[in-house]
Chain A
Amino acid sequence: MSEHLTPSKLESYRNRALSPGDLLLAVAHLAECPECRAGLNPSISANLATATNLAAIRGSFADAAHLQFEEMESYLAGEAPPETRAMVEAHLGNCDRCAHEVSDLRGFMTLPAPGSLFEMLAVQQELEEEKSRSSWFSRAVRSRAYQLGVAAVVLLIAFGAFRYSPFFKGNASGDRLNTVQAPAAVTVKLPPAELSDGSRKITITSDGVISGLQTFPPPYRDRLSAVLSFAHFDRPSYTESTWAQHELLTARTAFGDSHLLLGTLELHAGHYAEARQEFTALSAENPGSDLAASLLHKLDELAK
């Protein structure tokens, strides 16, 4: 074995300051001499140095052994760039554990959005089931196939009712999405009215047809028309409340200027104080509007 490395040589090695010739000689010596190797870490023993090196390697590979959640998610969502996709696929071909995790997550990635028609129907179905759990029939009703069937039938009926309604025919030449028929169960007939709501102008005709809601997506239009015609202005059901609470964040971002929509969602979420703030702002935007004043009044009654 060659001569031991001097402290200054060890220091130069640590600092990567050795010339190529000295470096090759020093490394050849270090590979054979535990004593000099220990000199590279003067504050700890040789055994401890070895143990720390071992732990560093174990640690270095521990997090590399499997895919991280973010990689699996972006891969399944189709958002991973091609190189990452290739890397994930290469790994999945060799790793059962990650393949199982990806397979399990794949089914969950397509979870429908809450508030979608199917989900609302499914919940409604379940609430009804609660009432009739004792019968054998209820067990059949609980099956997924039955729920899907019910959803399909309700969709068909709803579509049929809409397709052959006078409203559909009467507006064939216009933009039917721009106007929403107030639900049939309207008991309070409002006089024709106009409301300014942010950048929108909402009008109610003498026939009870509400227009000006076209900038909102369909579920919001239904809710707004139900509130504007006072057809649905009472304490929310649990499902409604849940839906509205979920939607509030999205609505605030996308329709922050609509006091009518935010007030409606707050109302349906059961947040009366917040709903009042929004309807008060709507009233201020529409001074002298009977409709805006009626919304506030009705809300106060409900809150009591």
Chain B
Amino acid sequence: MSQDSAEINLEAALARATSAARTVLRRKLNVTLRPEDGRTENQDALELLCDIQFRILRKLQSPDRAATGVDAPAIRNIDFYAKQSARNACAEYLRDRYPHRAFLKNRLRRFFRSRPAFAEWELDGEMVCGFAGWRNRKEYAPNAKFIAKALADPASLAPDAQPRTSHENLHATEWDVLLESVLSDLGCAIELDDLVSVLAPRMGVKDLPAQTGRPAEDELAPLEAADSLAQLQQIADPAAEVYLRELLTALWQSLLQMDARKRCAFLLNPPSIEVELLPLYGVAQIPDIGKALALTDAQFAALCSELPVTELASSSGNRQADYDTKFAILWNFLPLQDALIGKLLNLNQQQVINQRMLARRILARELARLLVRPA
């Protein structure tokens, strides 16, 4: 394939994925995604969209790496990936901005997961809830009309579907009656987030996103076509490299301060491209990363028996040079599988996953102050 046609494909795939992500963002956050809409939520959503687009782009470029078996698997369904990225971004955004809404959502999830007559399940990547008997149904109502009506006119809900008190004060039967009435009113499953949106204002939840009603799909259609690689090229900030180096430096410093198990679990199977970027941006050279791992001869020997390479067991007499060379060989095999990392660390696979998750959480907290896009 020529470079031109590859670029056209990339642009087309990105525009399609952006359109899918937009749909989710608009629906979940009740925003227009119009640049001229100055509401905070809308501007935040535009920033989220920008992040999602970049991540999609990164993924879209991975297939040629995937062919060599050294990078993340290619995206099989770009629309699904875009929608899922948007859903995750929205969920974290709402949780972060509106903690009391998050409390209610947690309670609802617990309710649906613990009551035998009710259930929550995933459908097309969306978390939906309803009566347990509906679980096998393949469709759920987008509920746009129901939600718009319920938000605009609380009296439109059946009397039993109107909570009389805050969610902190409802007792078990009231939860049952309330949710049964809402679901009976609907007659079909509903997205969990939509249910939260309908109930929250009636249950004393104060911190709520502004509800402005949803823009019609066709009203916004012309905007979809405007998203393209060329536009992203314009958005890409030349100062971003400085920021990226800063971010990577903070990440590397945090990694060095971590205990060895977490550090190894993270560095040997990083969740994304962080480790790969460390040497590329001069933050830590490959030998530095090797030193931070401090692998023993026995660990190299264990790796040698699992990986298709024999040099890891050889020795030339120069201990440091040997170590750097062995690690450079190992570098080409990263990321390692968790089971193999477990053998090196005397942990089971789940413990490795947990150690890495702990490492990610520590890093996420450390980086939180830097993870704000510079003005």
Contact = CB atoms under 8 A, between A and B. Distances in A.
Interface of A: 14-18, 20-21, 23-24, 27-28, 30-32, 34, 37, 40-45, 47-48, 50-66, 69, 72-73, 81, 83-84, 87, 90-91, 94-95, 97, 100-101, 104-105, 107-109, 111-114, 116, 119-120, 122-123, 238-239, 242, 245-250
Given A27-B280, A57-B274, A60-B271, A51 B358 contact: no
B58 A53 contact: yes
Contacts of A52: 54-55, 57-58, 61
Nearest to A253: B116
Given A20-B328, A23-B332, A116-B172, 14 more contacts: A16-B68, A23-B331, A31-B282, A50-B236, A53-B58, A53-B244, A55-B51, A73-B110, A105-B106, A107-B168, A108-B106, A122-B173, A249-B132, A249-B133
B150 interface: no
A57 B55 CA distance: 9
A90 B272 CA distance: 23
A73 B240 CA distance: 39
A245 B181 CA distance: 12
9 contacts: A28-B285, A40-B280, A44-B61, A51-B54, A52-B57, A54-B243, A90-B358, A101-B103, A250-B116
Interface in B26-59: 50-55, 57-58
Interface in B236-287: 236-238, 240-241, 243-244, 247-248, 251, 271-274, 277, 279-282, 285-287
Given A42-B3, A50-B236, A69-B109, A23 B328 contact: yes
Contacts of B291: none
B57 A37 contact: no
Q: Shortest 5 CB-CB distances between A and B: which pairs?
A: A55-B54, A31-B282, A20-B328, A60-B272, A64-B360
B113 A73 contact: yes
A20 B312 CA distance: 12
A43 B61 contact: yes
Contacts, number: 233
B197 interface: no
**Dominant SS among interface residues on chain B:** helix
Centre residue among A40, A111, A245, A248 by max chain B CB count within 10 A: A111
B102 interface: yes
Given A17-B332, A242-B180, A56 B273 contact: yes
B221 to A, nearest CB: 26
A14 B68 contact: yes
B141 interface: no
Interface residues of B, number: 92
Centre residue among A41, A51, A52, A247 by max chain B CB count within 10 A: A51
Nearest to B88: A63
B299 interface: no
Interface string B299-333: 00000000000000000000000001100110111
Contacts of A247: 117
A31 B280 contact: yes
**Dominant SS among interface residues on chain A:** helix
B138 interface: no
A102 B184 CA distance: 30
Contact of A15 (B7, B68, B115): B68
Contact of A43 (B7, B102, B351): B7
Interface string B100-126: 001100110111011111000000000
B363 interface: yes
Contacts of B96: 97
Contacts of B111: 108, 111
B175 A111 contact: yes
B144 interface: no
Contacts of A123: 173
Contact of A47 (B237, B280, B324, B354): B237
A103 B192 CA distance: 21
Given A23-B328, A249-B116, A61 B367 contact: yes
Given A15-B70, A28-B285, A112-B172, A53 B116 contact: no
B272 A56 contact: yes
B279 A27 contact: yes
B85 interface: yes
Interface string B336-375: 0000000000000011001001101101110110010000
